[in-house]
Amino acid sequence: MHRLLTIALLALPALARGQSGLFPTAPSAPWTCDATRRGDGYSNSTDGKAYYCDGSAWIDLGGAGSITPGVTGIAGCTNQFVIADGSSLINCATAFVADGSGAGNGVFTVRKTMSGASATSNFLSFVGTFPSTLTALTSGAILDFTGAGSSSQQIRGLVVNLNAGFTGGVGAYSLMGFNTTAGTRLLSASPLSGAGQSGVYGSAIATTTGTMMGVIGIGGGGDLSIGTYGAVGTAKDSATSIGAAGVVANTGATPIRIGGHFGFTMTNTFVESALHVDNGAVAAPIVVARDNGAALPITGATATWQIADGAWPQVGNGVLTNATMTAETQARGSGGLIHSYTWTNAQVAALAGTAGDITVATLPAKTQVRNAYVVITGQAAGPTTVTVSCGDAIGGTPFINYTVALDAKVAASTVYGDAVAERGTSLDVEFYYLPSYTATTLVTCHFISTGANLSTVTGSTGRVIIETALLP
């Protein structure tokens, strides 16, 4: 007892002086930690932890595995991961593995060095198994960032760079997505539903004046470069396979919907269509269809079909075999162009007097007129007689060289022009009338009434049908 009392008495002055050479035990901080006590310490008998004073606060030195930055060191652990090993001891290693294998758990691995000899030796790896029972949308990993401001700089949620260096003859991919789940959800009629299963799903949806693109593909520098490539390479009996599909469902007011655009430029004035193709300023075919890789025709027929530059179709199978002359236009699909125009009773009644003209259309230069028909769709009434004839001024007025003057008071669905007697002098026995090779030609229909003016006509409607071909 005398010895213990002596030790306690000797410790009191030191404790009062805050000497760091002693590490007293106390149920709480024995003094206030400030600049004068920097470096002092004590052992807390209540929580079993050791504390030291950093000049402003008491710092836990060892409780619950605490490590003080810049103070605590691990011998031999340089530029490595500090880990809690399988024995719950602090250690260091060149790889960090958090292993929680099993349903609803995962394995997180970070390595300092990649072996290059194993597909599972990665710098960073997340491997896990989803729970078998889900009650909410579940994601294996989420990176969630929020943009702010309007600076003139790009912002990117995730960047993966696979830099130059590898020159092997196998594939190199900066980002890959594999989906082997056998889900049963089907493709929906709505393109925004995310229905079905996919390897990569890209979405860019926001109300803005800018351009929104779900996925961008850019290729270049190769002997064959492809911006976006879609392929189906698995075998399944009676299944539908589509390499690429474009679907638009814009239900807004006056949309311009295009299922797919292909061309040499994106600076187009777009026209609503399921397929939009434009060669821009490039003198190349707009569309080429080939049977078994057949070449476009040059000196003879080939199994091809194209919409050539200038938008004229060419039927490759119809190309003639060249002789001495140089081919200029080959099998251009310009025959049998059908045009239809209608007149109303209001147009007929607006004509003054007992004769008047309603213009039909203007033919371009080099247009061959092959056929012309007049179809009565509404029976005229009022005057004693009402007749209609059609033609152009080249054949002489009053426009009777396509169809002669014929009764407009006949029953609806009467067709004129299907008999020689009903045809005008330009088309009565000839089906190759060429009004002009150098100038345009106006087609006109001429109406005549007897017994009353045309302004009294009622019920008169009709259709004018013209078949043409445009020569080279």
399: CATH: 2.60.120
pLDDT at 408: 98
pLDDT beyond 50 at 9:
no
C-alpha dist (Å) from residue 172 to 124, 250, 358, 364: 18, 37, 69, 56
**Cα 404 → chain centroid:** 55
Question: Does residue 345 share a domain with residue 304?
Answer: no
CA Rg value for the chain: 44
Task: Describe the strand order of the beta sheet including 461-470 as a list of residue ranges.
Answer: 337-343, 461-470, 367-378, 414-416
User: Average pLDDT, stretch 44-49?
Assistant: 81
- The pLDDT tens digits for 50-59 are 887 888 888 8
99, 129 contact by CB (below 8 A):
no
The predicted model gives 377-403 an average pLDDT of 92
Inside any domain, residue 90: no
On whether both 368 and 431 belong to a single domain, the answer is yes
Write out pLDDT tens, residues 79-102: 777 777 666 667 777 776 776 666
Using the structure block, give the residue that is written with the tokens 């009644």.
Answer: 349
Helices (H), 337-436: 345-349
Same domain assignment for residues 341 and 463: yes
What is the reported pLDDT for 401? 94
- The answer to the question of residue 192 being in a domain is no
- Each residue's pLDDT tens digit, 292-338: 999 999 888 899 999 999 988 998 988 888 877 778 788 888 767 88
Whether this model's pTM surpasses 0.75: no
Q: What whole-number distance in Å separates Cα of residue 466 and Cα of residue 370?
A: 8
Token pair in block for residue 441: 């030609």
Specify whether 413 is located in the same domain as 456: yes
The answer to whether position 152 is within a domain reads no
Q: Are residues 352 and 410 in the same domain?
A: yes
374 and 455 share a domain?
yes
Kindly state the DSSP code that residue 345 receives in the 8-state scheme.
H
> Taking Cα atoms as reference points, which of 215, 216, 188, 187 lies closest to residue 202?
215
The answer to whether position 230 is within a domain reads no
Cβ-based neighbour number of residue 321 at 10 Å = 9
Q: Is residue 287 part of a domain?
A: yes
Residue type at 139? S
Between CA 79 and CA 99 the distance in angstroms is 22
pLDDT, tens only, 144-155: 889 999 999 999
Select from 295, 336, 329 the least CA-distant residue to 310. Answer: 329
DSSP-assigned beta bridge partners for residue 361: 443
CB atoms within 10 A of CB 329: 11
User: What is the signed CA dihedral for 264, 265, 269, 270, rounded to 10 degrees?
Assistant: 60
Is 88 a member of any domain?
Answer: no
Contact 98, 84 (CB under 8 A): no
Q: Is 245 among the domain residues?
A: no
Same domain? 352 vs 383:
yes
Specify the length of the chain in residues.
472
Are 421 and 361 in the same domain?
yes
- With H, G, I as helix, E, B as strand and everything else as coil, classify residue 454: helix
Coil/strand/helix, residue 37: helix
- What is the sign, positive or negative, of the torsion defined by CA atoms of 263, 269, 271, 272? positive
- Which residues on adjacent β-strands are paired with residue 378? 461
Residue 362: other Cβ atoms inside 10 A: 11
Question: What are the beta bridge partners of residue 346?
Answer: none
The CA dihedral of 70, 71, 76, 80, to the nearest 10 degrees, is: -40
One domain, residues 292 and 368? no
Dihedral over Cα of 86, 89, 93, 99: its sign? positive
> Of 26, 49, 65, which marks where a domain is finished?
65
Q: Does any domain span residue 2? A: no
Report the pLDDT value the prediction gives residue 363, as an integer from 0 to 100: 93
Looking at residue 4, its pLDDT comes to 40
Q: Which tokens is 293 given?
A: 């890789």
- Residue 89 corresponds to which tokens in the numbers above? 């001891």
Q: Which residues on neighbouring strands pair with residue 58, listed in sequence order?
A: 53
With 0-12 / 13-18 / 19 or more C-beta atoms within 10 angstroms meaning exposed / middle / buried, residue 234 is exposed
How many Cβ atoms from other residues are within 10 Å of residue 374's Cβ? Answer: 23
Q: What b/e readout covers 254-269, taking b as 16+ CB neighbours within 10 angstroms? A: eeeebeeeeeeeeeee
Domain shared by 397 and 290, yes or no: no
Q: Are residues 303 and 405 both part of a single domain? A: no
Cα(63)–Cα(236) distance, integer angstroms: 61
pLDDT tens figures, 178-226: 888 888 887 765 656 656 788 888 888 888 888 888 888 888 998 989 8
**Distance in angstroms (rounded) separating the CA atoms of residues 277 and 273:** 10
Q: What is the mean pLDDT of the chain?
A: 84
Residues spanned by the domain of 28: 18-65
Would you place residue 67 in the very low, low, confident or very high pLDDT band (cuts 50, 70, 90)? low
Same domain, 366 and 466: yes
Domain count, the chain: 3
- What is the DSSP-derived secondary structure letter of residue 11? H
Cβ atoms of 345 and 457 within 8 Å: the answer is: yes
Compute the distance between CA of residue 397 and CA of residue 444 in angstroms, rounded to an integer.
10
